[in-house]
Structure formats: C-alpha cells, structure tokens
Chains A and B, each alone.
Chain A
C-alpha cells in the first residue's frame, strides 16, 4: 500500500481558516479544470444571481469535480428541502462547480423530516442541519420556502427555466389500515401525531385525546411506532427541554396513558425497529416492559445463533427493563402475530354501539406460513381466523408513510407508481417512463428529470441511507452533465433553456400574493425560535403556524409578538 505522504493535520480550525483567508492545502484529487473565470462569476454571467438572497459565502468544492467548461452552468431545481434534497445539492455543487441550485419548499421552514419527523429527544440526529447550512451559504444556492410546487407554482411553468428538476419531496401521506372503524375519534395516524408533537403547522390543531383512558395501542413495529411509544411514556421533564411543541407538552401533562402496546403482524425477528430505539425505551425510570412469549420466537439453540443485528436486538428485548414488575408507573408492551381487523366503539351487552369514539381494537391472530423460516427477516404470515380484542382508549396506525404524485407530473411526462408510492427510476435516480424507450416500446430515461430520497426509494431508511441515495443521485446528474446527454430543454441537440431559474418564475408566484421565504428570512425564524426557547428553558420553541413563521421572518404585516406569546403553545 503506497503511503501518499505524511502530513500534519492543520492546527487551525476550518472557520478560522476561512476568516483569515488562509488557503488550506488540498490533498485530494479533483477532476476540475479551473478556467479563467471562477465558477460563481460564470454562473452569474448566465443568469444574474437571483434577488432572493443576499450575497453569501460560496460552497467550496472538493473531490471528484467535473469540468463543465464547454457548457453553460447547470441550473437545477430541487423540490423539497429534506435531507435528500440537501445532500444531493451538497454533492452536486461540489462536483459541478458552476451548478446553480434553487431549492423549493412548500413550508416556510426547511429540513423536512429532520425538523418534523425526527423525535425531539434525538437532537444529535438533527446535527446534519449544520451541513445543510453550509450548503445554503453558497451564492450558488437559493432557498425558496413557502412555495408549493404543483400548487403555487406549476411544474410546466418551471420547465423552460431549468436544465434539470430533482424531485425530493418525500412522503406527504401515510398508509391506511383500510379496516372498519379506522376513522373513529381517538384513532390517529402516527404521521399526524408525530407532526403534532414536532410542531408541524398542518397538525398543530390535532388535539389528540390523551386523557380519555389509560391504554394506547400502536399498530406497526417500525421506528416511528417506537417514537410514538416513547413520547407517550417518557418523563415529561426530560421532553419539555427539547424542541417538542409546547402544545404537546401541555397535552402530555394531562395524559392518562399508562400502557402502550405496540402490535406487529409478524414476530420479533421480523420487526423493523432497531436496537437503539428499543434500548432507549428500556431505560426510563418507572417505565416497565412486557412481552409475553418472546422466547418462543427465538431459535431453540439460543439467540447467539442469530445474525448480528437480530441477535443484539433479541438480547435487549429478552433483558427487558431493569425495573421491578410492581414498581412501574407506565408500561410498554410488544405483541406479535396480530393483524388489525377492526376498530370498535363501545358496545353494550346487546352488542349495540353506545360510544362515539374508539374503545377497542380487534386483531386476527396470524401464524408463519408452513414453508417459512420463522427466524428469517422476510418470513411471511397468514391469518388463522382466531380473533382477539384489546381495549384501547387511543389507537395509532404506524404502518408506513406514503408518497403521492405531485400535481402536474404528467405535464412533464413523469409517471407515478401508485403501488410502490414512488416515481419510477433507474435506481440511480434518473426518472424512467414506460414509454420513453427506443421506439417507445420499452422504458427509458426522461432527460433532465431525477428523483431522490423517500419519493425515489419509498418511505424507509434513516438519514445515512437517504444520504447515500442522495450522493448516488448527485453523481448521476454530474455524470450525465459531463457526458453531454440531453437535459430538460435540449432541442435538436441544442440547449433551449432560458437558464433563468427562479427569476423566470418569480412573478407568477408573487402575483398570487405568496411571499417566498429566503434563507436569510429562515435564519430570522430560526433565531427567533431559539431565543424564545431560551426564555422557557427549551433548545428551541418552534412556531407551529405558518403565519407566525412569516411574522418572525418579518414577512407578514400582522407581526405582533404580544399576540403571538398569548396564542402560541395552546393546544
């Protein structure tokens, strides 16, 4: 193995380097050819830097940069500001050194599920926002918040002004159980509950009925289910210091929930939650754990025979919570081999419905199919016909999120796979249409159209998966750009795009009275949230209403801090 050279790690931190205008030595290889003009000035020449943002520092380029000297700068629209969009922007802007990115977000505030999904008691997970801030600091990056593509801004109107459009809009709905009683009061989707405690404007008025009884049942055994369980049993004095919504703190302080049962249709070796999240639930003071018959699911030779990931999870489950059976105030439970069948309101002895909200949930017991290996992750089950009913004052369905087609996709010829809930793509991120292939007989790529993140792969995967996926998509866009294949507006071999980007569509947005939120405006919201959080002992007190957000950004006329204090945080 060749040793490149021994070099001392620099002793000055990166921010000092930047402030001193000291040039840090590069050590990695790049493929960039530096032309006489800088990337930024070249980009500016083609299209004046959009007025949306004030001048800022540039994203500096590293690694695997592709030369684009023969072409006009790549102008890319990214729809969605979650980790998929940001990580793609980060990588692409490093590789295509003159690429200019406009990132559209339907909410005023950025970061998608990092802000509105990741649990408030997982602040370290949200540290990826620091990276995203660095991306946003580039003069080649524009954040355009409060603009919903497909509603405020038509895809067809965007097309002439971009070389490429990247769909990174995640999953804005969730899967339904499709069983009777699913719409009864007291039945919630995990997605709306998560949005509620995280201060998502769409769900801040949810008012979950936490005080109607002691038992909550969560259907589904993924990490979202465990997030919901944790919020229901975690000590409130720990939660309230986080950025959890104040309306949630108020409602949780009145919660009567004491038992939380997390129900799966398969066994513990098939559950999709991960060991870290289970371990967390075992470590709360006065919170017990119960799972009947757990051992029956494990190999008779012992759990040490299982593969690493399953084995470590099984160990934590078997060990349970280190608290005495009688000493717990709250308890969480896991049940297996139960498929949801119906949700019922209260009935009298004559089986007549007398309640108007959820009272119980009925499951059909399942069994592993005869030829299944019950220790395998993909073991299948079938119904047994036997029913069990569990009392429940609240039911949460947590069986997965779901992406939906953006209005106007078909105007660009972009299909949507309703069954998989994704935009069909070639795994790398190029969108494919069943009729775009040679002679329109086979599937083929659509020029300049890409997808990334949950809308590309489906609604699973943690941030590392989303990041790797984004890097792949960025690499493929960079490769396509460097190989001169057709892009969005390539007509007869020449580029007919205006290259104006946001400046080309801005007027249609403004004409509707919509006020876009730029990065500076978001930073003002961010600052206001941290400051008012400090006053109440929280890391951040989010605005749970888009009007409040805009007001904090100084973008709405109705800005009235007094009024806001009085109304914010009320459930």
Chain B
C-alpha cells in the first residue's frame, strides 16, 4: 500500500512535484525515536539528526496530520514526551511553539509540537505519545444491543 504524498513545505507549492526527503542517518549517527499510538502500540524508527517528529511520523504513516505543514501554526502535530528527564534535555519551546501549544487539546507538562522537535544526539531514545484526536464513540440508537 502506498502512503499519502506529504507535500507541505510551502504554501504556494504544487503537490506531487515537491520532494521532502528524510535523509538516511550517517553511519554511527543513527538516532532512535519511539512513537506510542493512542491504541498503545509503539513504533521505533532509526532516523538522522535534524529530522523533525512530524516528518518522521508522516513518512512512517503514523497518525499525525500536520495541517500547517510544520510551520508552527496549527497544533495538529501535538505529542507528549514520555519522560520528564528527556523533556528537560530538549531545547525549551519558543514563544511561537508555546502559543500554539496553548491551543493544543489535552495539553500536558511535557507537551511539544512534533514539527518543532528535531532529532539530535541528546534526544537519541526519545519516546513520545500521540494524543487521541477523537472522542470515545457510542453506539447508534439503531444498533441492537
């Protein structure tokens, strides 16, 4: 099965023609990042320094919309960092990121925007949780119970 084309770097760009590669990590510089889905499944990827969590998630078909294409303007790439220690190792979110985090659903102490978190040596082994994007569903009146 193919994955969706993800082309959202520039507003004026035409899809399909755009290339948004994730470069392979240099040997010896492989970083690991784990995403835990809302169903509790976890997926670990080997990625390169500088890759951001939005690109990684989208390249790997994980549920992260990234509506604004990673320009820190939508908060649909909200992730929650599992470990407080790791959170503290990260660069502080800047004002722009915090402004969007203010609008994120289910904000936590260790919330970040995936598009603003870039992998680095310090973040090797990072584990983030993807928050639920929907309500718990209920049965229809018509469903035989």
Contacts and interface: CB of A to CB of B under 8 A. Distances in A.
Interface of A: 1-18, 23-24, 26-29, 59-63, 122-128, 130-131, 133-134, 274-276, 279, 308-309, 312, 426-428, 430, 436-437, 444-445, 447, 462-465, 467-468, 471-472, 475-476, 479-480, 483, 485-486, 530, 539-540
Contacts of A13: 5-6, 18-22, 59
B68 to A, nearest CB: 5
B1 A6 contact: no
A7 B43 contact: yes
Interface string B75-114: 1100000000000000000011011101111010000000
Those 7 A-B pairs whose CB atoms lie nearest each other, nearest first: A124-B71, A485-B142, A127-B69, A276-B99, A128-B67, A124-B73, A445-B141
A275 B141 CA distance: 42
A428 B135 contact: yes
Contact of A124 (B11, B15, B36, B43): B11
Nearest to A137: B15
A308 B102 contact: yes
Contact of A11 (B21, B74, B142): B21
A24 B44 contact: no
B43 A27 contact: yes
- Interface size band for B: 35 or more
Contacts of B107: 308
Contact of B73 (A2, A122, A447): A122
Nearest to B34: A3
A445 B105 contact: no
Chain B contact residues, majority secondary structure: loop
9 contacts: A15-B18, A24-B61, A26-B1, A59-B4, A63-B63, A124-B69, A309-B102, A428-B135, A480-B142
Contacts of B58: 14
Given A15-B5, A27-B60, A127-B71, A427 B142 contact: no
B75 A9 contact: no
B5 A7 contact: no
Contacts of A465: 105
Given A125-B73, A276-B100, A6 B67 contact: no
B12 A530 contact: yes
A456 to B, nearest CB: 13
A61 B2 CA distance: 8
A287 B18 CA distance: 38
A122 B69 CA distance: 13
A123 B63 CA distance: 24
B2 A7 contact: no
B46 A9 contact: yes
B46 to A, nearest CB: 5
Contacts of A126: 11
B140 A480 contact: yes
A60 B1 contact: yes
A480 B139 CA distance: 8
Interface string B105-135: 1010000000000000000000100000111
A3 B44 contact: yes
Nearest to A60: B2
B24 to A, nearest CB: 5
B46 A6 contact: yes
Contact of A15 (B1, B19, B37): B19
